[in-house]
Structure formats: structure tokens, C-alpha cells
Structure 1
Amino acid sequence: MPIIAGVDIGNATTEVALARVEDGSVDFISSSIAYTTGIKGTLQNVTGVRRALSLALEQAGWPHEDFKRIDIIRLNKAAPVIGDVAMETITETIITESTMIGHNPSTPGGVGIGVGRTISIYDLEKTKPEDPVVVVIPESVSFEEAANMINLALSRGIAVNGVICQSDDGVLIANRINKTIPIVDEVKAIDRVPLGMQCCVEVAPPGRSVELLSNPYGIATIFGLSSDETRQIVPVAKALIGNRSAVVIRTPLGEVKERRIPAGELYILGPTGKRSINIDEGAEAIMEIVDANWPITDIFGQPGTNVGGMMERVRKTMSELTGLPLGEIHIKDLLAVDTMVPQRVVGGLAEEFAMETGVALAVMVEAQELPMQKLASAIESDMGVKVEIGGVEAEMAVLGALTTPGTDAPLAVLDLGAGSTDASLLRSNGQVELIHLAGAGNMVNTIISSELGIDDMELVENIKEHPLCKVESVFHVRLEDGTVRFFEKPLAPELFGRVALMIKEDFLSPILLDTSIEKIRDVRRKAKKEVFVTNALRALKRVAPAQNIRLIDFVVLVGGSALDFEIPSMITEELAKYSVVAGRGNIRGSLGPRNAVATGLVLSSAGRKAL
């Protein structure tokens, strides 16, 4: 019996279904999955296809890379697509007339509010008693020396009202001086703290956050600011909200320059012509323009802005990978989501960031031509096996999804991937509709990374994929749903009091962030809902008869993101409002949501049809 390999090259993974096919009968032997190499539909895919086929052969009990056992390799017919995500800031943090330190060290010293002129600790001897001061201490001065020098100054009647120090010595100094004053430590750029300037230091009691310096009117009161100056100081106050300690220093006019960068405009081409919208109008307004101008012909960004650069970067990347000219590459969809973006604060001395309102953008690019035949020829040459282009990907996805027990037409397939959300609809007359939409797993990662301020993308991926818990003792944790779980063996001491991820039943991974379990959970769920639930509704509306989702009976979720522990239930719950049966697919009754297109390619080779 001939052996057929169905190969589905996706944006993130390449899946294989291996089967014996003869006279319409299909006997599946094995299946496999490997990471896609390069952009879907380009020659870089050959390595990923080779790896996936090798794994399928091994699972069938045959030698690794014994490709001669395969009679035909069938590829999915699809245009190469590329998704990209960027954060475009709606507002920029701007500071004039002030320098701030608000990096929130874990162990500030003392408590209270102190106002005075900044001086070096070496200048304490020259200070007059009637001159209130805030002492600046470099790390070359030990905590014992600093405490002795401050106590000596206090004994002379000098008003030492606060301390800014470079080392992690806040508590050590506070315990050794004869006056309770606020001390902010761990200020790495101590040499950039301006001396001789009016300064306010605030340290809140344990469990509290600063109140005076997180209030623009409080800062105005301390420094005697005018209404215009108070308006300019708002970003300072916003950046200090939630901190236990903070410092604000008023600097001379013009020392910290004001700088503005336009957010940029989007130009959306469609049936109603060219529509434009500024990024600073927010995600809802952007998506209204996208929906009103559907189907989209192309999208451009305003030259000289971040959003314009993003659009052109995506086009250039696609052109280089496919060999197609820029003129034949078009952005066909865009998803915008309101989010919070950490922006570096101008004038900060400890790498301060303020959370500003922003827009996350995901775009989808499709090339007009289908270079799949070039890829097929490259695979055939590399492996010495006949390669043919199978059916359209949408039809193959439906054919594979129909192997999920309990399904029937009219049936829609939602392929939840990494770069895009794709929908296929099999209508009662056998016609299949298809749509590719921008935004999927990668966009969720970007939003989580931004809102939680995490640069480690492996940690971001784990936060997306695993539930949270709070370690309350060495023998028990409280899960994010409030339930308690006990362990027979004691947990590692470094986990105590930490928020952690339940990677496995018996393995916890701590999240080294000063962030509550509630906030992490809310950010994760919000990102998934605004990307996947939004795109599920958008996609189904596009392919449904008369754009009415209620006319669809069954929705099968496939793809990598359909394996997520909460995305399928979110979509199922939302689609229940439309009386639609929706859930995670189970391809061939055993593979879960994976392998739908690869399975469909094998079935179509045997003459199987959806209807």
C-alpha cells in the first residue's frame, strides 16, 4: 500500500500525518510535530519539514530519515503569511523642571517625609544649622561611617532631613542614627544626583505606598509650583504611584528637556477608499475603521513614526524571505488592543519607568503569489520523494476537523496559532470559506511582557501557559482559584511567600516579581480574551452566512493555542451566547487539537471530501 505523508507547514509548527492509503481506505501509522523553520511558505521551511518527517518515521518504527519509504508528500496550499506585533505609545512620559528617583528599593530605611537641599556627605561639616539638607552618600562610604557622620551633624544642630545612598544600606544607616528620617538606597547613578538642589524624600510605612510624591498637588506644594509647572509634573507623580519610597529633585530651568514624538497615523485602504486614524485615538476607534473598511486592500503607517516603521519593516522582511517585490506584499488585517506600556522616564536617575496607555498592534501580511511550488521542488530535491501540493488549507482543516467525534456540517474551524487566527467554514452546500486574521499567541505574549515589565520571553510563555499559586508555607500553596493544595515533601525555602507557576503537579517555578497573584492573573486573562475571543468573533463573523454567527452549528478549535488551559473555555463560553457548539478539537479521536490540516491532506489523497 502506498504511504502518504500529509505535511502542514504552519506559522510556528510543522505537523505530519503518515498513513497507508489504498482504494479509498486510510490506515494512519504515525504523526509528529516540529518547529517551522523560517516563514511559512518559504524555502527555509525545508529543514523543519525534514525534521518533522524524520520524527514521524521514527514513531512508525522505521529508521531516522528513511524517506524512501514515503511514496508521496502532500503539502498544504497556502500563501506565506507573517504576523508582527508592536507597542505604539499613545502618550509619552515627559518631565521638565524635575529629576526623580522612584525605583522602589526593597529595603528603604526610616519613614516619613524630608525636604532639604541636596549635599554630599563630605560637605556636612560646612553646613550651617539653619540650612535643611538631604545627604547624598556614594558607595565608597560605609554604612558605619555614614551613620557616624550624620550623628555628628545632628549633634551640631544641622537639620538632616533625608538620605539618598548608593549602596543597599538604608536600614543599616537608619538603625544607627539618632533621628528617624526617610532614607532611599540602591540609587546606582548616585553621581548624577544634582547637588545644591531643592529635594523631597518620602518613605512610606511598611505595607503602604508614598502619598505626597505620588500626588501632583503634593509636589506642587513642596516646591511652590505654578499651575503650568504642576501640569508638567504629572508624569513624575504617575511614575511614583505604588512605590514605597521616592525622591523628587527640582532642577534648574532647561536641565531636563521636553521631547515629544508623534504616535503616528494608520492609513487603511479598502472598498470605501483610504481611511486614516491616529494611534492616540485608541484600539476601539482603530478597529471600528478596520471593520468599516473591510475587506482591506492594504495598510500603511505615517512615515517618520514608529507605526510607519513597523509596517515597512514587516513588508521588507516578507520581501527578503519570499523574493517578491515590495509592491506585491500587502497588509491584509490588523488587530489593535489597548494596553499599558512601560516608558522610560526622562530625568529619572534609577531607570524609572511609568506605565502609559498604549496600543498593541498585530498585522497580517499575505503575498499575492504562491511560491509553494518552489518549496515543493526544494523538498523533493532534498529528500528524493515525490511532492505534490494538496488541497487548499481551509478545506484540509475542515476535513481533518470532521474526524473529531460529534461534529457535522455546517462546521467552522478556528485555527489558533502563534502569529494568526484562521477560520474555515464548511457550508451545507460544500463550499468552504477562509479568513486569516492578525493576532494570536505571540500578541498575547507581547501584552503580558509589556504590562508586567518582563524581558524574559521564556517566563512570559510560562505565565501564559500555566496557572498560578501563592506559596503560603513549605507544605502548602493557595492556587489562583482560591483552593489549597498540600505537599508531602517540603517545598524549597526560596519559594516561601512567592507567587509561583504550577509547571507540573509536583514542580513549582517562582516568579521573581514584586507583583500580586491577582494582577498577574488579570493581565494574563485580559490579554487572552482581548486577542483570542475578539479574533474568534471577528473570524466567525467574516465567514458566517450573512455574517451571522448563529447560522454556524459547530465550531472546532485547533492549533497550538487550542491546547491552552483557559483559551478554549473562554471562546466556548462566549460562543454559547450564539447557541453554537464549540470546543477543543480531537482530531482522529485521539490527537486533540493538533494535526487537523495534515490529517485532511491524507484523507483528501484517498478521495475523501467534507461532504
Structure 2
Amino acid sequence: MTYIAGVDIGNSTTEVCVGEADLNGSIHFLTSSSCPTTGTKGTLSNTHGIKTALKQAMSKINRNMEDITLIRLNEAAPVIGDTAMETLTETIITDSSMIGHNPSTPAGAGQAVGEILLIDNLSRGVSGTAYIVAAPSSFSYEEVAALLNQSADSLDITGVILQADEAVLVENRLHKKVPIIDEVARINKLPDGVPAAIEVALPGQTIRMLSNPYGIATLLHLNAEETRTVTPIAKSLIGKRSAVVLKTPGGNVRENALPAGEIYLEAENSTSINLDEGAEKIMQVVSDAGNIRDLSGQPDTNVGNMFNRIKKGMSEVDNIPDADIHITDILAVDTMAPVLISGALAGETCLEKAVGIAAMVKTQQLPMQKIAEILKSELHTDVKVAGVEAVMAGLGALTTPGTKLPLAILDMGGGSTDAAVISEEGRVIMTHQAGAGELVSMLIETELGLSDRHMAEQIKKYPLAKVESLFHMRMENGQMTFVDESIDPRFYGRVVLLAEEGFIRIEEDIPMEKIVQVRQDAKRKVFVTNAFRALQKVAPDHDLKNISNVVLVGGSAEDFEIPEMLMDEFSNYRIVCGRGNIRGQEGPRNAVATGLVLSYAGEIQ
């Protein structure tokens, strides 16, 4: 028996296809498998994942890895994708000039103005002066309420700031109701005796005065120059349920434009572009530059440091000299990134303009040959670096029922989007583009302010629902779904992801509609943009109207909405577009591995 194994090493997943070849070179496909890629794509660490995937595949047909006659590896490993987020501006607020956050349990409603008075110093308060009392968590809610009630007749207490999550408990015990906000972590940094304004919105509404610079000016009696300087504060408080702004002596606010830096393109038409110009202009310059040999950034700037970091990271994982590492493509995307406000007392952030960048890194060395040598010595099997990834993906895509030449394929993975067009004569034109699933995850994580990348990955993969009772939930498309068995109470009132294994609760208190919008916008910015960019490069005469069929393959083609987005966009060009179904059974996965096995048959014949 002649067993041929095709191995596709991707950024996230290593896939294997095993076929049996007869004497005439005909292939009978037997099995396939996949497992997470070990290490960075194109490095020696990949061998562990390859052996795991081979073992899984051969065990399905009750065979050992040693029974494999030939292992064929894809050739595209030296190209990897990397991503980074660079913020263009930063709002810096000094001398603790403001706090303003969005706790889920403020109490009371309305605005209040007064001097900050720590609860320890209630006895020092004087009548005729309005006070906003600040209480640390060392005071229980009973103690806070009792002290405020005792002082209600002698002091003019207009509002309360709590460190603990106890606003409602305190308000329930007050004789005189006032606006109360809570969950202010660093309350000990509040300066005693300075003027402050507090606002709590009605349920279901957001604050209006403190999210308006003229509202702040009205409450704190600011002049025109002071009003101009509090504009970043007002901007950061938009959409909040509660907020406090302090007027500190000598406190100042300034908006500091960080040096975003220039991108230098070494290409057919060498040029440069400033990151401040935004993603659209950056991508226009990249397109006009022609074939790019290398990209670099202005020293001591955000973008310069980013490109250096990417090259240094690639150098460290595989001991490649810096001179042999080149960035051959980037995808820039406009986004908003939360920036931590200096001087803020509750970890407040302000959304600022940012550019997300995916970079394609290429090396002069061919680490795949080293991987082949290691596998050959460890498995005692012939191993060959057999074909270019995009070409192999095209061969695999042709096993999708209903396809024929000429054919275009889009291979959408984790780090890159590859495209190829195969003519009726079998000629192949291909391209590798920076940006795919990992950039989408980064955009979701950044724009939603999530605490970890794993949750962003989950949001990217699964649709959403809001559990509105123990027996029904509202889907993201508005449909109401009822269930026979009671939903776990810990999901009640929460936004959840509808994963195969069950519900995944989103811990952050973010409206379902916003999550859906951010997720879909991120996918359009990356996949729709890259699909058009890639296909225009490989299309005859660079005209999409010369392409009639596009098959989507790769991990991101399994997404529940990306193929539909692309299908809708390509319909304007009368292009037939859809998910591949490799060998009529694998779906969009396994295209490159299948193509590697098929290419063996072509070589034999």
C-alpha cells in the first residue's frame, strides 16, 4: 500500500489528508484530521502538531504513522501574519481632574454640586455650604446611612460617592434622597474640599449635563478657556449612567497627540504615508506602491516601534537575521481604542481614534526544509516540501461539487487571506494578503474593551442571544425562542453566546446590539476589504468582472456570517461565491492538505 499524507500548517490549525495511491497514480482518499498548530507557523515547533495530526488521521484507519509512504508539506510557511493596534491620540487628565464611570447600581437621579467632604470629616462641615460626601468601603452601608441621616439637618449634603457597590442599600436608608454613585475604586485619592459636580441618570437613560462641556461649565461655573479644556472629559462621559467631575486647583486637561509616525514603503513606487492619515489613505498608498519588498516605520514612533517589534519577534522564534526579514504587505483598519485616562479614579477610559494593522512577514530562509528533515529522521518516512499553499488550495477546492475551471479561491485563515485564480489551461496567479481572523479578534477585543482575547474569539465565532426569562430568550435577529426546560438561572438577564456545547455568558455589561455591530463591522473591515483586494490582484486584467466563480476555503470560511457577507458583496459582479465542500465532505477545511495529495497524482502521471 502507498499511503500519501498531505500536511497543511496554518497559523492556527495543522490539517492532514491521507490518500492511497495505486500504480497508475490514482488517489483514493481515506481519512483526514486537524489539531492546533504548535508554535509559530514555519518554525521547528510545528513538528509536534504535525505528528499529532498524522497520528490522529492514521488511527482512524487503524494504521500507524510508520505506514505512511510519503508526507507532502505546504511551502508557504515562511509567510506569517502579525497584528498590532496603534492609538493616534491620548487624552491625559492630570491632578485627578475627573472621575466618571458606568456602575450598574447607582441610586437616586439628577445633578448635584458641592465640595468634596470625606465622611471621616463630617464634623468639620459648616452649614450653608453644599457637600458631596465620599465614603470608603471601610464604612458599612448602615454606618454611611446613619452618619448621613445624623448630619442631614445641620449640613447641606447634595450627593454621595461610595467605594463599595452599595448605592441602593444606602439610599433605601436615607431620610433625604440624593444622587449616589458607587464602585469608585481609588476613592482615597479624592481631594477634600474641592468643588465637584455629580450626576445620576434615570433608569434606561444616560447622563446629559456632565457629558456636555457647557453642562459642566454651568454646574462648576467655568469660563470659556476652562470649558474648552474640559471637552475631553465630557467626551469620555458620553453614554455613562453616572459621573463626577472635580474642579481641582491647578488641575488641567490637555489632549496630547502622540507621534504616530510615517510608514516607509520600499516597492516598485517607493513612498511613505503618515499613520495619522487613517486606514483608507494608507491602503490606497499600499495599493499604488506595486510589489512591496519591505515596509518599515519612522524611528521612535508608534508605527516604527510596531514594525520593529514584529521583525524582532520573528527573528527570536527562529533565529533569523533581521536583514532576512521583510514585511511585504499590511492591512490597515480604522477603529476606536479605549485609552486609560491618567488621573482617573475608577480606571476610566476614553475612546480614541486608532489604526489596527495586520502585517505580513516573509523571510529569505526556508524553514520548511528543516521541518521536513526532522520529520524524515524521526518517522523514518520520505518527506517532501511539495507545493505553494495557494496552488494546493486551488487543487483542493476543485474537489467541491459544482466547480470547474477557470476558478478563483479565497483561503481565509487566521493570519492571512490568500487568493488564487486557476485558468482553464491550469496557469495559476496567486497573492498573499495580510489580515484575517486574528485581526478581527483584535478589533472585537479592543472596541468592546474585553479583558481577554479568548472571549473575543468566541464572540467572533458564535451568534448572540439575550436570556429574558428562564424559558425564553431573544436572538440577535429579534426572533423569540422558547425552551422546554428551564434555563440555568446564572444566565438570566445576560447576553450569551450560542456555542455548540451550550451557552457562554458574556461577563461584561455590553448591550447585545453593540456587540453584534462591532463583530459585523470588524468582519467587513477585514474580510470584505481583503477579499476584494486579493481578487483584484489575481483577476485577469485586475477586473473582478473577469471572475465567474469563487470558492471560499480555510478556517474563516466556516464562520456563520462571513460567507454570506462576501456572497452579498460579490453578487454585484455576477460572481458565484460560496463555501467550499472539499471532497464533498470536509466543508471549507482541508483544501491545502487535499491539494497536496492530489498534486502527487499529477506528478506520477
TM-score tier (shorter):
over 0.9
Measure, in 2, the Cα distance between the counterparts of 1:302 and 1:210: 42
Where 1:39 maps in the other structure, the secondary structure is coil
Where 1:446 maps in the other structure, the secondary structure is helix
- Gap change, CA 1:323 and 1:152, over 3 Å in 2: closer
2:261 partner letter? G
- Contact 2:582 2:588 survives alignment (8 Å): yes
Measure, in 2, the Cα distance between the counterparts of 1:516 and 1:472: 13
1:20 partner letter? E
What displacement does 1:283 show?
0.9
* Structure 2 unmatched ranges of 5 or more: none
2:322 partner letter? L
Q: Structure 1 vs Structure 2: percent identity of aligned residues?
A: 51
| Selected match of 1:590 from 585, 589, 603 | 585
- Contact 2:548 2:575 survives alignment (8 Å): yes
- Contact 1:189 1:350 survives alignment (8 Å): yes
Measure, in 2, the Cα distance between the counterparts of 1:227 and 1:280: 29
Where 1:509 maps in the other structure, the secondary structure is strand
| Selected match of 2:443 from 447, 465, 471 | 447
1:439 partner letter? G
Q: What residue is the counterpart of 1:419 in the other structure?
A: 415
- Gap change, CA 1:236 and 1:609, over 3 Å in 2: farther
Measure, in 2, the Cα distance between the counterparts of 1:521 and 1:240: 23
Q: What residue is the counterpart of 1:82 in the other structure?
A: 80
Where 1:433 maps in the other structure, the secondary structure is strand
Measure, in 2, the Cα distance between the counterparts of 1:391 and 1:171: 66
- Contact 1:297 1:330 survives alignment (8 Å): yes
Does residue 4 (structure 1) correspond to residue 1 (structure 2)? The answer is no
- Gap change, CA 1:175 and 1:434, over 3 Å in 2: same
| Selected match of 1:252 from 219, 241, 249 | 249
- Contact 1:319 1:329 survives alignment (8 Å): yes
Q: What residue is the counterpart of 1:564 in the other structure?
A: 559
Q: What residue is the counterpart of 1:116 in the other structure?
A: 114
Does residue 468 (structure 1) correspond to residue 464 (structure 2)? The answer is yes
- Gap change, CA 1:411 and 1:3, over 3 Å in 2: same
Q: What residue is the counterpart of 1:283 in the other structure?
A: 279
Does residue 486 (structure 1) correspond to residue 502 (structure 2)? The answer is no
Q: What residue is the counterpart of 1:25 in the other structure?
A: 26
What is the total number of aligned residue pairs between the two structures? 604
After superposition, the CA RMSD in angstroms is 1.8
What displacement does 1:28 show?
1.1
- Contact 1:94 1:232 survives alignment (8 Å): no
Does residue 369 (structure 1) correspond to residue 365 (structure 2)? The answer is yes
| Selected match of 2:374 from 378, 391, 394 | 378
Measure, in 1, the Cα distance between the counterparts of 2:118 and 2:251: 23
2:506 partner letter? I
| Selected match of 1:226 from 187, 205, 223 | 223
Matches within 5 A, 1:207-606: 207-254=204-251, 260-273=257-270, 275-504=271-500, 507-606=502-601
Matches within 5 A, 1:192-207: 192-207=189-204
1:598 partner letter? A
2:598 partner letter? L
What displacement does 1:30 show?
0.7
Measure, in 2, the Cα distance between the counterparts of 1:202 and 1:412: 58
- Contact 1:469 1:500 survives alignment (8 Å): yes
Measure, in 2, the Cα distance between the counterparts of 1:585 and 1:221: 61
What displacement does 1:581 show?
1.1
Where 1:593 maps in the other structure, the secondary structure is coil
Measure, in 1, the Cα distance between the counterparts of 2:437 and 2:351: 23
Deviations 1:358-404 (A, max 9, x none): 11111111113323222211111121111112122222111111111
- Contact 1:91 1:280 survives alignment (8 Å): no
| Selected match of 1:141 from 114, 139, 142 | 139
Deviations 1:181-228 (A, max 9, x none): 111112121111111111111111111111110001111222232333
- Contact 2:229 2:254 survives alignment (8 Å): no
Scaled by the length of structure 2, the TM-score of the pair is: 0.96
Measure, in 2, the Cα distance between the counterparts of 1:257 and 1:414: 46
What displacement does 1:233 show?
1.2
What displacement does 1:229 show?
2.3
Q: What residue is the counterpart of 2:100 in the other structure?
A: 102
- Contact 1:268 1:293 survives alignment (8 Å): yes
Measure, in 2, the Cα distance between the counterparts of 1:300 and 1:227: 43
Q: What residue is the counterpart of 2:38 in the other structure?
A: 37
- Contact 2:108 2:200 survives alignment (8 Å): yes
- Gap change, CA 1:549 and 1:212, over 3 Å in 2: same
Where 1:208 maps in the other structure, the secondary structure is coil
Where 1:415 maps in the other structure, the secondary structure is strand
- Contact 1:111 1:180 survives alignment (8 Å): no
Measure, in 2, the Cα distance between the counterparts of 1:144 and 1:2: 80
Where 1:607 maps in the other structure, the secondary structure is helix
Where 2:572 maps in the other structure, the secondary structure is helix
1:334 partner letter? I
What displacement does 1:6 show?
1.0
Measure, in 1, the Cα distance between the counterparts of 2:394 and 2:604: 10
Q: What residue is the counterpart of 2:58 in the other structure?
A: 57
What displacement does 1:257 show?
7.8
- Contact 2:466 2:512 survives alignment (8 Å): yes
Q: What residue is the counterpart of 2:180 in the other structure?
A: 183
* Structure 1 unmatched ranges of 5 or more: none
Q: Which runs of 4+ in 1 moved over 6 A?
A: 255-258
Measure, in 2, the Cα distance between the counterparts of 1:212 and 1:235: 14
Measure, in 2, the Cα distance between the counterparts of 1:458 and 1:248: 35
Measure, in 1, the Cα distance between the counterparts of 2:319 and 2:187: 52
What displacement does 1:258 show?
6.9
- Contact 2:92 2:342 survives alignment (8 Å): yes
What displacement does 1:609 show?
10
Where 1:360 maps in the other structure, the secondary structure is strand
